[in-house]
Structure 1
């Protein structure tokens, strides 16, 4: 991370000259509780629904009006404009130049500083709208509004990761960083805090979540794994609804009030906001870096409502907002190279932001049941050609799956198989406990990975699958508690047999049904290995407990299945 250069340039950009801090400065307060609209596509259809929150009174150091549902305007107003708070001072100054009678108590153009999420939700729409992202236009129009853009966006401002200088070096080199680096550092506990604005009303939050998801999609071809990796960062946030402007103000004020540095950690903000802070020459320096694996930006389209009645005044306002005024305020005239294009459909952005904002922080409890019976040594086709064994495929799966468990996971591992008639149906190979806790000199996560590396199936060993599942479900049911997700994950070829614990599927299903307790659910997630796996039996087992069964033909299938199970558990209800 580095302090922004005087020219406010970024990677591959020509410098932009600044002649003063951006309008409003770093102290501008964003709307603290904007009304939010979530446009959620109903599967297979095009129905939309609205969710809103009541606004709370707020202040605005830019001195511009902030609209409320009951706000009254002057009768002489000819053009009503809603602009994102950071660009509103520039728009207001331009509007003043079009008032040919300074004595007027009512200006012909009314400019309201308004967060885009609030404009989307408001029943009355402005004549002209300048949100902080073109994404909001798509969202609003999909919900029934009718705005059309007039020319290219007025300005641009890339999203950056900001942090105190002492923290910045943890995740950045110069002015470059990545969402992957941020996620890795947060997961490893190397950062004091990571905060993010509300993704459902804040442009910085909405676009940051898009950037994180795009970055994680680069790390794996599996969409479920990518989303789970994105939510790894979400689960580590100290605050998922932080206001970047307030964070900047608190950092600026804290040293002078009591001599203690406010421990804000890392947070995303626009380049324009960060530049404003840096020009304030505060005691606590902040540095910024561009996340190059998911580079996103705020842009500021000039959008005109379909029912706008004053086309001439609208055109005059558009012309009065000059490039010089915008660059002086800290905005860019063009995008940075390699900036991600916005998704074509608004529901793609909204699905990410909804999952992120309504993510339920739940502790996870998992018991892994690994089939170590002789049938796992049968040869099967290997992904990409050649041959392997069911055990070999399972071993590769397990090595990577251990990385998917979050730090709030409690986990244990059993191997099941019966090499002799007197052997028990299963044995514990990794004791049950927090994944971050030590086990024989290493973390439990490391112990899980090593157990899978060392995993071998014993020849001529029977398969007490059903007995092991019954015991595992009974064991985990005692651990069910409010605020937790409790799972049994079974990796097997799906055959129960050749053991003293053998039972028919009918006997097993009867016993499994008898042990179900709706108040203490323990879903079974089953993965079946091999071309002749009995998926029908595994599906019946899983569905009886509220879980799911998946065939496994690739090492990534286990990670994908775990990702799907965890996403379902943490999904908005």
Structure 2
């Protein structure tokens, strides 16, 4: 391509424009040349996997370890001739949601052969939980769980969660290090046409390039694609997901001058925090899991174009592979399989470093773990490092302990040989600094809670509370997520016969700190009424919030409904009209309507359509006893 090529000139102009916009000098940096050769805990066997060291925080965990006797050669599994005697050793393995498929396959492979540990058979089972929830539970010794049901092994998707558990007071239960069984880099994933247009399919950008492109409203216009709108960057919350931790570390490192050499003091530096705060304005909204973003992106592609919803999302390689083969997860837990997408995702590995999720096999140290369970855990870990175990790792979409991918995974996922710049997650101090600064630097929220108060909300649920009482308690608990600078409000909807929406707005959208008491008073005063004017309520309140739209905030409605639309009389709002209004507003003043189906009779189909039309997500609390947990996850979007 010649230097006169208009596409190259356009890219150059975008980069130049970004530099002018920033108007700040960045010191030059070089990714540290030192590398770590890491050793299996207690095994003394070297691995072929090499990571760049982050020298600023020596307390960081060992990110990789291998059971291979020499690089490229894994020992064969050596099962017992026959199973050991019963009763079997019960070995419970707790996985994260992200690596649950991998861990389940490893456990199945282990259980498929005879095992004998200390003369007894082994019965390994798998449970799963988000890494953030598991870190808190492990730190506290899994309160409320019977001793026989507590896990012996925990495999979060990244060692960063061991540091989080340690920092939460879990030193007695959670070791500082685990042993990696496979890895997945955390990358910027982009639809291929968008990656090609901006040139990142060919040339690796820096994180600075990524965040600048996201901040510039005219990025796609400058590249002759105004139909793609603004650059929409999807990120998870660092309080909930490893990809969110990686995104924030990259953002702070980029603003401080070096991703590879980021320090705790730089994270807390007011100037760096202010720059990150400005970067965060480009975030469309946050999520608990990146899979939710991609499930919504797939829906957007089916409706027209993935670019309508997403320009890029920070996510792990394995999830890129899943998406490109047609697998998505609308809730981060369940899986939906369909045909591969028309626009596949391309993984982008920023040239100034990217973090790697190392899936550490961690034998817990709590008093509920006995000696036989520890031996069984060691035997399962041994299996994970064998030829058979590492084949399962590769077939599940991960790099094995020598950094190799399955060829089919590489082809379908568009995953190349991993380039230079891989970084281990830092240790406790830096992760704690990220957690403590995130509430201050994140994009502020402008949220209206919209609650169905139809007559059915008077029904009782299994806990003995009415639906409305449980919903009120869940909303009050969710308010703890909002901090100074966030604005929240409350409205409720029902109707008597063909009358107006009642009671309507009961607490105007205002500062979450100063107006909390008024909000709670209004919430406490809600009572069940009669009908469910769902379409009219959504249409009316979405229009009101669009008129108050603020480009520097996440403008959203949290809709909780337990029923189907009920309207009487002529002239009422139809579903078609409501959806058309939502889609029209989304082009200029996007108000995200997050929908929560509450109870078995909720109109889940319509609620999904509402959230999809606005680029938001649907949440399922059709089991009403789970409403607090579901709503708690939902508000991490802000």
Q: Which structure shows the bigger proportion of residues in helix conformation?
A: 2
- The TM-score with structure 1 as length reference comes to 0.45
Structure of greater Rg: 1
- The TM-score with structure 2 as length reference comes to 0.41
